[in-house]
Amino acid sequence: MSGDIIEAAKFIGAGLAMIGALGAGIGIGLSVQGAVQGMARNPDTYGNLFTSMILGVAFSEAIAIYCLVIAFLMLFVL
Amino acid sequence: MEKTHKWRWGKNRWIVLALLILTIIAVNIYAPIQPHIQAAAENLSSEPIFTLPVIGDFYLTNTLVATILMDVVIIIIALIVRRAAKKDELAPKGLAGVFEMLVEMLYNMTESTAGKWTKKIFPWFATVLILVLFANLLKLIPGFETIGLLHHSAEGYEAQSLGGNWYTILNSKAEEGGFMVTPFLRGVSTDINFTLALAIIAVTMTQVIGFQANGFRYLEKFFNFRTIFKKPVFGLIDVFVGLLELISEFSKILSFTFRLFGNMFAGMVLMALVAAMLPVFMPAGIMLFELFIGVIQAYVFGMLTMVFMAQATQGHSVEEEHSNA
């Protein structure tokens, strides 16, 4: 019985951990929005904006990846 | 004369259709199972290869086999490109041409960010990028993460002989003493040791390049006590910012490690689950997406290494501000 509760708590915890991906999604969306608007207004800056956009997306994505790693820890390691 | 190639859908679509029908038949004969997933790499050898006194036992893991395979592929490509480069042609053909394009692109990218430190930074950037790129693209090899050793497992499946020493796993739970597969090859980036080692190398070399560029003044970035006696309030803020910089250097290792590991491991789990649930056609689409993610992650890893190194070469910005004021 207690094993079942621990098993259930693992899944619930993994699901709750992934809530953090919400913020990263919003952040990635905002940064891509800014970059695409800049590219639309001034197409010559495409290269620079693309590099900065990828970097910004990588930084925000890292937060979502931390959540994912925590979820994986709960599911497969603990 | 320039020859224009016309894409021939006529032949290719029948090949795609035949492969699809083949998948449906194969899935009906041997239904795919949901594999056992674990975060650490699986051991291929039951006995440790060698033992170090403090650190512990070293096993032959499947990511290690994939790492060796990746190294062999990279070395072979390097030898081919070297032979083509020795011929001193103006426009190399084939593989050498592709790599000339890649390296030229990377070099220009470094030059636009790093300026006069390009020659120092470019080798690290290109090495990291190409290594991670090959590590992520290695899963194009057929049988990756599917062919391997059978081993007993508590919650295993039944196995059927295919003749000789070859077995296949059936989609039915065994009553007792079932089998699971330990694949020979597993994605290199899904092993946290690989990504951690790469992250430590990248961040350590960032510090080394910072010292080479600025000498011991590089430490002022982290321990900034210069302004604290002149302007106590703002000086305190400067000290605090320096400490934050110091912490952020360590968190770079963490974020490098878990970004690559998390992305590639999530891809592996997604691939395994989709292949078990929707075995026809869907895994191909997911595979395409995973290859895209792999290329993007290689780009991001290399790019961040390069940008951090370029930042480390630049001196502390407060001095310029003070000289202007």
- Angle among Cα A41, A50, B98 to the nearest 5 degrees reads 130
The set of long-range contacts for B149-156, using a CB threshold of 8 Å and a minimum separation of 24, is: B149/B44, B149/B181, B149/B182, B149/B184, B150/B179, B150/B180, B150/B181, B150/B182, B151/B179, B151/B180, B151/B181, B151/B182, B152/B177, B152/B178, B152/B179, B152/B180, B153/B36, B153/B178, B153/B179, B153/B180, B154/B178, B156/B180
Q: What is the pLDDT of residue B84?
A: 85
B316 vs B36, B85, B197, B221, CA distance in Å?
A: 51, 41, 29, 6
Q: What is the pLDDT of residue A37?
A: 94
Residue in B109, B259, B264, B309 to test binding to A, most A beta-carbons within 10 Å? B259
Contact criterion met (CB < 8 Å) for B262 and A58: no
Contacts of residue B262 in chain A, CB cutoff 8 Å? 65-66, 68-69, 72
Q: What is the pLDDT of residue B321?
A: 45
Q: What is the pLDDT of residue B29?
A: 82
CA distance B294 to B186: 14
Interface membership of B40 toward A (CB under 8 Å): yes
Decide: B104 and B118 in contact? Cβ < 8 Å.
Answer: no
Q: What is the pLDDT of residue B323?
A: 44
Read off the tokens for B163: 């003749």
Contacts of residue A66 in chain B, CB cutoff 8 Å? 258, 262
How many CB atoms are located within 10 Å of the residue A41 CB? 8
Beta sheet of B167-173, edge-to-edge order: B148-153, B178-183, B157-161, B167-173
Using the 8-state DSSP alphabet, how is residue B61 labeled? Answer: B
Q: What is the pLDDT of residue B320?
A: 47
Q: What is the pLDDT of residue A26?
A: 94
Contacts of B54 (CB under 8 A, 6+ apart): none
Contact criterion met (CB < 8 Å) for A69 and B262: yes
Contacts of residue B261 in chain A, CB cutoff 8 Å? 69
Decide: B309 and B121 in contact? Cβ < 8 Å.
Answer: yes
Is residue A27 pLDDT above 60, yes or no? yes
Domain ranges for chain B, please list them: 61-147+187-316
Residue with the two structure tokens 């092993």: B191
Contacts of B209 (CB under 8 A, 6+ apart): B117, B120, B121, B309, B312, B313
Residues of chain B with pLDDT under 50: 318-325
Of B65, B206, B181, B191, whose CA–CA distance to B128 is shortest?
A: B206
β-bridge mates for residue B179, sequence order: B152, B157
Q: What is the pLDDT of residue B128?
A: 93
Domains of chain A, with CATH numbers? 2-77 (1.20.20.10)
